[in-house]
């Protein structure tokens, strides 16, 4: 049965009012992509090639720095028209997907295969029931990672079931922790989702970033330049921007892992990879602001699998038992 309450873009999401023109930007990495070390993985020839990933957000629109149809797959459930008339989804998508071409910025996983599901309307809100349906379809289409830069203070049984089902079927949902500075929002607080906090350019956790024992890792989320629905770029701030960094990192990891093991990693192996390779921030060890620390893209090819060590798995188990 469809729920009455809405879920949507985390409160206090901020976007710049003036565009940053693509014609003025020579192809380069922005500071946030360098901070998570995606450029080092790209230097190894890893760009997320062949990895299906999904995003449930405000929809799809063409942009010169993003993949077009049919390279991009579209999913609609509640909204027949997939057009992004909000901008939030296009911005989040660009952090992962911005292409290697002659202008603009380079995303974290530009050769991944994006699947765009419109679960939020122009006002930035949507039904948890239909968002859950979007997740189910993305899992059926073979997505290994799904970005959810959305949330609510209220729990949704349908959304919880969809995220748990995704996990049990080889797909991990990466969620924005929330922007109120208070408790981690739903669905980020679920044990089978990854909760992402936001840091600024100095690797300091933002005041607005929600906090709690549910936080897994942190990523850049302050003043992030990415694609906008006017065909240019805009800076935006929020944990909505932090989550796609982690989504992109996991798309890269999926390609690396598949190259090494001839299979994609399980959701638990993805979580272990994030936890084991994060750069500790703030208070030493796991904390309620940044979790295991700053998420980093770390090369695994030809190396013993650090993410699957006994220490990492035990830390993760203890965290989830007591969360």
The set of catalytic residues is 57, 88, 240
Task: State both tokens at 240.
Answer: 């909505």
Q: What sign does the dihedral 58-142-127-69 (CA atoms) show?
A: positive
* CA 197/CA 240 separation, integer angstroms: 9
Task: State both tokens at 119.
Answer: 């679960």
Task: State both tokens at 87.
Answer: 């901008």
């Amino acid at each position: 049965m469809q729920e009455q309450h809405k879920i949507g873009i985390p409160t206090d999401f901020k976007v710049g009012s003036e565009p940053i023109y693509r014609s003025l930007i020579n192809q380069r990495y922005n500071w946030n992509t360098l901070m998570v070390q995606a450029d080092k993985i790209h230097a190894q020839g890893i760009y997320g090639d062949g990895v299906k990933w999904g995003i449930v957000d405000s929809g799809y629109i063409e942009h010169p720095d993003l993949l077009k149809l049919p390279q991009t797959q579209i999913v609609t459930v509640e909204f027949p028209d997939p057009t992004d008339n909000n901008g939030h989804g296009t911005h989040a998508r660009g952090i992962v997907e911005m292409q290697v071409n002659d202008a603009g910025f380079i995303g974290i996983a530009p050769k991944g295969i994006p699947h765009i599901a419109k679960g939020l309307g122009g006002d930035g809100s949507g039904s948890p029931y239909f968002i859950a349906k979007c997740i189910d379809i993305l899992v059926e289409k073979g997505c290994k990672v799904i970005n959810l830069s959305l949330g609510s203070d209220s729990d949704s049984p349908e959304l919880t079931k969809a995220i748990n089902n995704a996990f049990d079927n080889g797909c991990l949902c990466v969620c924005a922790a929330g922007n109120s500075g208070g408790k981690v929002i739903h669905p980020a607080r679920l044990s089978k989702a990854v909760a992402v906090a936001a840091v600024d350019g100095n690797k300091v956790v933002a005041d607005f970033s929600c906090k709690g024992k549910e936080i897994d890792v942190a990523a850049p989320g302050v003043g992030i330049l990415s694609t906008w629905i006017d065909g240019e770029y805009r800076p935006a701030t929020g944990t909505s921007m932090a989550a796609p960094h982690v989504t992109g990192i996991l798309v890269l990891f999926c390609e690396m892992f598949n190259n090494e093991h001839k299979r994609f990693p399980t959701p638990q192996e993805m979580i272990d990879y994030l936890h084991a390779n994060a750069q500790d921030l703030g208070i030493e060890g796991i904390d309620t602001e940044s979790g295991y620390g700053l998420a980093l893209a770390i090369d695994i090819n030809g190396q013993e699998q650090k993410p699957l060590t006994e220490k990492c798995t035990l830390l993760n188990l203890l965290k989830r038992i007591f969360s």
